[in-house]
Structure 1
Amino acid sequence: MTTITAQQKEHLKVLQREEINGHFTYAKLAGVVKDANNAAVIKHISGEELKHYNVWKSYTGEDIKPNKFKINLYYWIAKILGLTFGIRLMEQGEEKVQVIYSKLLDDVPEAAQILADEEKHEDELMEMLDEESLRYAGSVVLGLNDALVELTGALAGLTFAFKDSRTIALAGLITGISASFSMAASDYLSNKADDDGKNPTRSAIYTGIAYLITVMLLILPFLILSNYMVSLVWTLLNAILVIALFNYYISVARGYNFKQRFFEMAAISMGVALFSFLLGNVISGWLGVKSS
């Protein structure tokens, strides 16, 4: 048995804790996977994590209790937000321990093989994952993008034109709901024509629902508050929040660059909103429309 230092023992205990948490998390996730082959892959990885735990235990001589909170957290994240997102988020956490592996490779013989196993596990998981929600991510992006850009701009323009929260909310709802059905119909026809393997009806539903949810979040401030300028500021903050949350989800699930996608989408939405706000000011003055 290789002799390890006190510091190396602490490093190994960190790895040991990660392995036992991974073992129980994957075992729990395997129970919610409907596809038998995918469930078998996850169960196999769960078993491998336990083997790795026992290897590290042989060095530390200690039992490490699993973190039940962390296990349940990842389980419910996967249940609510999708298996792909949950597993990728968990794998991101595991990547942080690779720094520890680099410190052990020269002194602990098993470290190189276990690190290779971990990388293999990630490859197996990424090849396996193909959720419907991500196959139709493009449809969700279409609905979100259009609702954020079009309705944020429209609400900004309506704010200066009408200067009344209820009137702005009414006009925004009519515009947003009509646009959501129009966007869903366009997406349906587009996918039917392209014949790219996606179900046109499901794609249209994802697009329409994403658009409607965004519409409600953007209009909500005008329904709650009477001050139209405060409502507009709240709406813009809601838009930024939606952009941040969605892009974080996609960046984790798809491995995209979060900052690049977030700032690009936010800049477009806020730019259109500013232009529309100024345009509403100009047009209302030109037509002689005054607030009541």
Structure 2
Amino acid sequence: MHAQSIEYETVAENATPDVSPVLYVLPSPSVDDPPAEPVRADASAPLLRPDDLGVTRGDGIFETINAVGGRPQALEAHLARLQRSAAMLELPAPALDMWRRAVQHAVAAHPPVPELLLKLVMTRGVEGSGRCSGWVVAFPNSDFSRERAEGIAVLTLDRGYPADVMTTAPWLLQGAKTLSYALNMAALRHVRALGADDAVFVSSDGQVLEGPNSTIVAKLGHRFVTPPNDLGILAGTSQARLFEWAQRRGMSAAYDRLTVDDLHRADTLWVCSSGRQAVPVRSLDGVPRTWDADLHAAALAHLLTA
């Protein structure tokens, strides 16, 4: 274990290359639409009508994919999650072939950068139209090298829901990746105002859930653990790739319930997301933490492969 003895300032996102985004609009985002190829559009021009339900209600879904070396990571897992989110919102099923093509076109059209983020968005469309809106936009990922190397400060926040909310109140759409992110952004603003970098939500009955835009992974001995999806949290794509890597190295990986005490006793604690991949937690609720720097470096090197 390697202790981190330096006190760090709150980490800010570093500047990205000045490269214009690449936008592809999907005339046929759902299987209900007549098939039509994605069309490149001007990313600086207006795209949505003001009465699109994605704008007025946050009624839609999205995915964010990192592409390294021109190759989208976990593309099929992201498309499957997009499909699950659509089903939970009772949206028409996404036309996955069209989304796949739009992603491939956007990657090919964008100038080479070390890491490229692709945001896939599907809304319920203009109110009363019965047609969904969909697009893929590609832009350079932020430089997360400092966070990946030095770790981040995390605070736990009460989600205000019990652990079984997914079954007792399915209309809350826990476990769907929706455009309704106001609460998630409010949580991030709250912890950053307190000098931290990120948050991890905890259920009202003490179960660790997820971050506002991330998955939590704890290494407890030779066991990698993340909370199960039946707690109403998203299935993590970067976390799944981390689990596959750990299992190939002879360690076990499990979806199991965790408490905040479990997080404090973890050998290494990661926050995983498509953009950051995996960043270690250097403090939890103000308590300094250590992590296995060699293990983290090896895991990160794997996650950053194409």
Name the structure where helix makes up a greater proportion of residues: 1
TM over 0.5: same fold?
Answer: no
Greater gyration radius: 1
Q: TM-score, normalising length from structure 1?
A: 0.26
Q: TM-score, normalising length from structure 2?
A: 0.25
